[in-house]
A and B are shown apart, each in its own frame.
Chain A
Amino acid sequence: MSLERREFLKLSAATVAFTAFGGLGLDLTTVQAAADLSKLKGSKQTTSVCCYCSVGCGLIVSTGLEGKGRAVNVEGDPDHPINEGSLCPKGASIWQLTENDKRITKVLYRAPNSDKWQVKSYEWALDEIAKRVKKVRDAAFIAKDAKGQTVNRLEAIASVGSAAMDNEECWIYQQMLRALGLTYIEHQARI
């Protein structure tokens, strides 16, 4: 292998999905050209950031403009100053995480003492959850503690989550939980 490190970086930036698992037993120049063409044809590009570790590697996501409009490729963003186009195996597999037939795409409900899931709608589930939240809160709300101090809290519901959410989602989630009066609010940072 006579490639200089810099050249290798340049090439791997464009062919990361191949090099991550295929090693370098390929004629990279041809692969690069082919990859470029097939990727760009009929797709739009957007930038994102890897959802795994906290290095925060930049991604370029290519989404098909025709058919079902699904992701056709996810690779490292060569302009991103941290990863300069490269990704580790986790980042390089985000396409497969997305286009994955094992994903749960329907709301599931497990009734008390049942041994199976039932498929439900979001509408039904959110209605039912809201009713349960209100029922518990109305019954268990603690307006004052044993010392007679006003505490306005609800200790009968707990929440964990989530570092897997965006900042904006985390913020509205904490706001909702605190409005309900929850004090058992925790997430991954504690473990």
Chain B
Amino acid sequence: MTNHWIDLKNSDCIFVIGSNPAENHPISFKWIMRAKDAGGKLICVDPRFTKTAGKADFYAPIRSGSDIAFFGGFISYILANDLMFKDYVVNYTNASFIVGDAYDFKDGMFSGYNAEKKAYDKSKWAFAKDEAGIVKKDPSLQNPRCVYQLMKKHYERYTLKAVSDITGCAQDKLEQCYKLYGATGAPEKTGTMLYAMGQTQHTVGVQNIRAMSIIQLLLGNIGVAGGGINALRGEANVQGSTDQGLLFHILPGYVPTPAASMQELKTYNEKNTPVSKDPKSINWWGNRPKYLASYLKAIYPKQKPEDAYKWLPKVEDGKDYSWLTLFDEMYKGAFKGFFAWGQNPAASTANCGKVREAMTKLDWMVTVNIFDTETASFWKGPGMDPKKIKTEVFFLPCCVSIEKEGSISNSGRWMQWRYPGPAPLGGTKPDGDLIYELFEKIKGLYAKDKKAVFPDPIVNLNWDIATNHVFDPHKVAKLINGYFLSEKTIGDKTYKAGDPVPSFALLQDDGSTCSGNWIYAGSYTDKNMAARRDKTQTPMQEKIGLYPGWTWCWPVNRRIIYNRASVDPQGKPYQPTKPVIEWQDGKWVGDVPDGPWPPMADEKGKYAFIMTTEGFAQLYGPGRNDGPFPEHYEPMECPIPEHPFSKVLNNPTALKFTGNREGHASCDPRFPFICSTYRVTEHWQTGVMTRWTPWLLEAEPQMFVEMSPELAALRGIKGGDKCTVESARGSLWAIAIVTERMRPMQVMGQTVHMVGIPWHFGWVYPKDGGDSANLLTASVGDPNTGIPETKAFMVNVKKA
């Protein structure tokens, strides 16, 4: 989230799309209702009439997988009706940037496509620069090659009629929706967009989010109270686990993992440190070398950063190691060993039948969980013959969260400390102890074997993370924050070795500081900031419910990021009734600003979007793999052979696999209905924790499929009937819920039906609860993130 949960109350209009906070983030809805109580409007766009829709002032259904068409129509409407917040757009976005001559867009394809590699040459999309190396701009927005004009041209094709044809949403509904939310383009109004996996789990997932961001920027809704682009994340600490770099492509703090072509730290820094020639651009990522050096000193305190760098594993340039690829490799037998730590991939992975089979090819698996899972017990699952499965499985039971101590980071980036209540049940252990003890043993084996292969990175790893041989979360939290390793004078202050680093602004690239994760620098200084419970606020902060003394928030306790865009170039808030920051008597008051510099109009002022190289938010985004502007493509499995915007049916760069487990069925009469997966209030993820909790299981005991009365009549199904739902990849049973929450739609002149299924069930428990929805979903993914397309795929439904 750019903003945070309480901030929802400040919004004049809340736009919910691809999420369902009333059911999936229930307590957040308290703040949505406060916004409504204060006169704000709630819009819900969803294929299904959810509980969020039930509370909405305006509801519009669209076909799952048609979001970019919907947003493209919206962008076109904003530009055609001049609803944008022009000063904001000119001052803070790249609308005025001139795009280089090599950029082009024709019939669904951007310039630079290589059909063999199924990838674009992104250098074709670069901006035009002047002799000083600064991007050329036209603040009048008239130049036909400026972003604003190119965008206008790009989205002219997204007429109300075309958008209605493809989304299935009536033209008047579209127009009302665009008008209602478009009103937040007025300078004093703010609107927020809330999304979740309904937007990301598509082969155009990243471009869905880009499209929303474009709308938010055109309406001046980023950086402001009651605004922002807000991901409602699904897990208590999925923000934190991402921040801590548990992904193949990033180290902690969003520092890219080194690739093979970057043999030396120097080369890495050259390739990964953006440079801006514009003195008004802060280009914050220009500091990246300091963050990597400090990380290297955190993990290898005795080595020089350039030496420690050599020990880090290097990924192969251009090779994908992401989730779907990982399981494809496992299916091909590439792995001997596998850790499924606090995860249940045999139920949570798209096309999980393939994953279950892939697990039979492992020599061994280690799995850590609270309860038995479909992953731990895969060898005795449906269709498995244990006698034929060689995989050894080690199940290490861990304790639950209220039995241990440490911090988690919520969607609003609040790092919150948890204290232990009861001791771990029956001698179970916190994950931290298990990791600590396991690596102690591995290290011991390497230390004593003279012939061990490349022991250096193992025996030298900083494993001073325990007190009396017990994992110590405070020690690690201090290391994540970072401290000085030698005496250092910065400005007029001298820091001694061991002093905590007060902020990432003080991290160094010479090895004199360590910090496990630069964005968390400032979280554990003279005290544990994440444990704070101080609700004091200044009157200005109180207006928007900022709570700066309650726990701690990254970065630097800034509660609303990009907040320099909430003020005009003189530093006056655009929304005086709900100011985030304000320049008063030569200093900023309110939230922690995005950097201390004076407002933009000042001689020493800086551009607002400090994390981008040029300092401007990106309406045009030349860094994505599938184009600088979001373009509509159908889901990889879709019910229609063509769409109105181009001849290119699907995303030409989508992540795909070949092999006998990759069934595929577009416009296939055997699988005529669109299916989407989702959640219910009482269960969570694959149900690993909630299915074993009797109160919750009683409320939602088994797998179901929601369908419209029309579809039910077509198939002779009644509510409560046991049905078979099948796709080109698998089949499962589900109990029919026949409901008007689902409606057939008219798409490109045909009637299209949709069904929906929850993904919380699995064969392990309860006995008659059904199996995972992911037996049906496809292993295809977004070309930028690899996130699977589980929100739109084709199925058949019949009475069992």
Q: Residue of A at shortest CB range from B479? A: A171
The reply to whether the CB of B105 lies closer than 8 angstroms to some CB of chain A is no
Report A-chain residues with C-beta under 8 Å of the C-beta of B244: 167, 170-171, 174
Q: Residue of B at shortest CB range from A187? A: B246
Q: Mark A111-148, 1 if CB is under 8 A from B, else 0.
A: 11111010000100111111111101110110101010
Report A-chain residues with C-beta under 8 Å of the C-beta of B449: 134
Report B-chain residues with C-beta under 8 Å of the C-beta of A88: 26-27, 681
A172 touches B436 (CB 8 A): yes
Cβ contact of B247, chosen from A84, A150, A153, A187, cutoff 8 A = A187
A109 touches B395 (CB 8 A): yes
The reply to whether the CB of B343 lies closer than 8 angstroms to some CB of chain A is yes
Report B-chain residues with C-beta under 8 Å of the C-beta of A155: 334
Tell me the count of chain A residues lying within 8 A, CB to CB, of chain B. Answer: 117
Q: Residue of A at shortest CB range from B691? A: A102
Given known pairs A55-B25, A55-B411, the reply for A152 and B457 (CB within 8 Å) is yes
Q: Mark B517-556, 1 if CB is under 8 A from A, else 0.
A: 1001000000000000101000000000101001000000
The reply to whether the CB of A110 lies closer than 8 angstroms to some CB of chain B is yes
Report A-chain residues with C-beta under 8 Å of the C-beta of B415: 167
Q: Mark A73-107, 1 if CB is under 8 A from B, else 0.
A: 01000010111101111110110111110111111
The reply to whether the CB of B115 lies closer than 8 angstroms to some CB of chain A is no
B403 touches A160 (CB 8 A): no
Report B-chain residues with C-beta under 8 Å of the C-beta of A38: none
Q: How far is the CB of B302 from chain A (nearest CB, A)?
A: 14
Cβ contact of B682, chosen from A58, A89, A165, cutoff 8 A = A89
Cβ contact of B480, chosen from A56, A159, A171, cutoff 8 A = A171
Cβ contact of B343, chosen from A58, A86, A162, cutoff 8 A = A162
The reply to whether the CB of B383 lies closer than 8 angstroms to some CB of chain A is no
Q: How far is the CB of B634 from chain A (nearest CB, A)?
A: 22
Q: Residue of A at shortest CB range from B335? A: A158
Report B-chain residues with C-beta under 8 Å of the C-beta of A175: 299, 461-462, 516
Tell me the complex Cα distance, A53–B283, Å.
34
B422 touches A103 (CB 8 A): no
Q: Mark B236-262, 1 if CB is under 8 A from A, else 0.
A: 111111111111100110000100110
B435 touches A188 (CB 8 A): no
8 Å CB interface, B684-712 against A: 684-685, 689-690, 692-696, 699
Report A-chain residues with C-beta under 8 Å of the C-beta of B452: 134, 138
Q: Mark A56-84, 1 if CB is under 8 A from B, else 0.
A: 11110111100001110010000101111
Report B-chain residues with C-beta under 8 Å of the C-beta of A165: 237, 241, 341-342, 431-432
Interface core residue of A93, A106, A111 (most chain B CB under 10 Å)? A93
Given known pairs A98-B402, A156-B337, the reply for A69 and B369 (CB within 8 Å) is no
B457 touches A181 (CB 8 A): yes
Tell me the complex Cα distance, A162–B401, Å.
13
Cβ contact of A158, chosen from B252, B338, B787, cutoff 8 A = B338
Report B-chain residues with C-beta under 8 Å of the C-beta of A21: 695
Cβ contact of B419, chosen from A46, A57, A99, A137, cutoff 8 A = A46
Tell me the complex Cα distance, A164–B434, Å.
14
Cβ contact of B453, chosen from A48, A96, A104, A141, cutoff 8 A = A141
A50 touches B236 (CB 8 A): yes
Return 9 A-B CB contacts under 8 Å, by A number. A51-B401, A51-B689, A54-B237, A74-B421, A81-B6, A107-B396, A152-B312, A159-B339, A164-B237
* Apart from the given pairs A160-B326, A160-B345, A173-B435, 9 other A-B contacts in the complex at a CB distance below 8 Å: A51-B689, A102-B765, A110-B391, A159-B338, A159-B339, A175-B461, A183-B248, A185-B321, A188-B343
Of all A-B residue pairs in the complex, the 9 with the closest CB atoms, nearest first, are A56-B410, A161-B341, A166-B406, A162-B342, A105-B426, A61-B421, A88-B26, A130-B441, A163-B238
Task: Please give the residue numbers on chain A whose beta carbons come within 8 Å of chain B beta carbons, in ascending order.
Answer: 21, 46-59, 61-64, 69-71, 74, 79, 81-84, 86-91, 93-94, 96-100, 102-115, 117, 122, 125-134, 136-138, 140-141, 143, 145, 147, 149-176, 178-191
